[in-house]
């Protein structure tokens, strides 16, 4: 079942809208997730877990690419993560669940993009494929530092020297790109740093290719993920794993507390039984006297 995404609007002097983050479920703990295969060619570093399902090709082990995490190849963790990722992607695509704050018809951007940025939290929809060349897109968290940015691309996403910059407290983990075809990010004249969760869920063209530069967030694809000379910082996945660990610790603490409380109750119950026996003994003695 898809988890509903709500867009909340408050009217004051203007219209302020923000979206609720989609639930990635078990996919949240992965920095990179592919369907058929994941390829990472040196030099490159992936910080976080990597998964492939239902494919079985993770050929980064012999390419010199450094993986600081666990590889899940068609195991239950990768299988469940794939299902949760596709549910999140489907929910992001749904116009009823995520109505657009702004629809953008422009297909190509070069250099500064004043028509787009700085952008406050919201749901931004590209009516077709979009390309960015030597472009910096600023996401501004001044109105809501914990706000959510959702970008829905009805086609392919191409970025050549495309940077995403978080400003005024905005958080990369709260940025979601739902791309209907392939997502291709390539180094150009800028040292690009793409920030956010990149979801390419199309069953045929849903691949992610990153050459050069870096990504802070997650790369989740229905088909393949191909990385060359790229650094993937899966900080969002690492934070999610830490939260899960804390939750488990809290559960253990709760269980210990419940066990302690039950022991206390049992002690009180045993004491009440002893007191009852003493009272009965005294009553019997008085009766005999």
For residues 96 and 212, which has the higher predicted lDDT (pLDDT)? 212
Structure tokens at 183: 């997502």
**Lookup: tokens for 33:** 């997730």
| CB 98 within 8 Å of CB 7 | yes
Residues in CB range of 117: below 8 A, 6 or more apart: 136, 137, 138, 139, 140
Nearest-angstrom CA–CA distance, 198 and 203: 15
At 237 the pLDDT is 85
Give the pLDDT confidence score for residue 63 in this predicted structure. Answer: 73
Where do the domains of the chain lie? 7-233, 247-289
At 200 the three-state DSSP class reads strand
pLDDT digit string, tens, across residues 38-69: 998 888 899 999 999 998 777 665 577 888 99
The whole-number pLDDT of residue 187 equals 87
Supply the DSSP string of 113-130, one letter for each residue.
Answer: -TTT-SB-SEEEEESS-E
The residue-averaged pLDDT of 98-105 equals: 92
Q: Predicted confidence band at 116 (pLDDT cuts at 50, 70, 90)?
A: confident
Cβ proximity of 209 and 185 under 8 Å: yes
The residue written with tokens 């639930």 in the block is 23
Check residue 190 and give its pLDDT: 64
Q: What is the pLDDT of residues 227-270, one digit of tens each?
A: 999 999 998 988 766 655 554 444 444 444 444 454 555 455 55
> pLDDT tens for residues 124-177?
999 999 999 988 899 999 999 999 999 999 999 999 999 999 999 999 999 999
283, two tokens: 């009553």
Query: What mean pLDDT do residues 86-103 have?
Result: 92
| Mean per-residue pLDDT of the chain | 81
Average pLDDT of span 32-39: 94
Q: Does residue 7 have a pLDDT over 60?
A: no
The pLDDT of residue 188 is 66
Q: How much is the pTM? A: 0.78
């Amino acid at each position: 079942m898809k988890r509903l995404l709500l867009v909340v609007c408050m009217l004051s002097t203007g219209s302020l809208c923000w979206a609720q983050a989609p639930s990635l479920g078990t996919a949240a703990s992965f920095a990179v997730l592919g369907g058929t295969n994941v390829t990472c060619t040196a030099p490159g570093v992936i910080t976080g877990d990597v998964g492939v399902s239902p494919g079985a090709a993770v050929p980064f082990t012999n390419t010199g690419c450094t993986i600081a995490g666990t590889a899940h190849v068609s195991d239950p963790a990768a299988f469940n993560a794939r299902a949760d990722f596709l549910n999140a992607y489907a929910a992001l695509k749904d116009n009823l669940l995520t109505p657009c704050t702004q629809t953008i018809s422009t297909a190509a951007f070069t250099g500064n993009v004043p028509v787009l940025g700085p952008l406050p939290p919201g749901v931004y929809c590209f009516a077709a494929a979009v390309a960015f060349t030597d472009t910096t897109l600023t996401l501004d968290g001044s109105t809501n530092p914990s706000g959510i940015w959702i970008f829905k691309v009805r086609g392919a996403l191409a970025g050549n020297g495309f940077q995403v910059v978080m400003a005024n407290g905005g958080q990369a983990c709260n940025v979601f790109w739902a791309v209907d075809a392939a997502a291709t990010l390539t180094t150009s004249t800028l040292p690009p740093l793409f920030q956010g969760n990149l979801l390419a869920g199309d069953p045929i063209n849903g691949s992610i290719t990153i050459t050069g530069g870096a990504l802070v967030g997650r790369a989740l694809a229905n088909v393949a993920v191909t990385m060359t000379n790229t650094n993937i910082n899966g900080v969002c996945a690492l934070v999610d794993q830490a939260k899960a660990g804390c939750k488990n610790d809290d559960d253990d603490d709760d269980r210990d507390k419940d066990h302690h409380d039950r022991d206390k109750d049992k002690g009180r119950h045993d004491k009440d039984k002893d007191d009852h026996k003493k009272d009965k003994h005294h009553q019997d003695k008085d009766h005999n006297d």
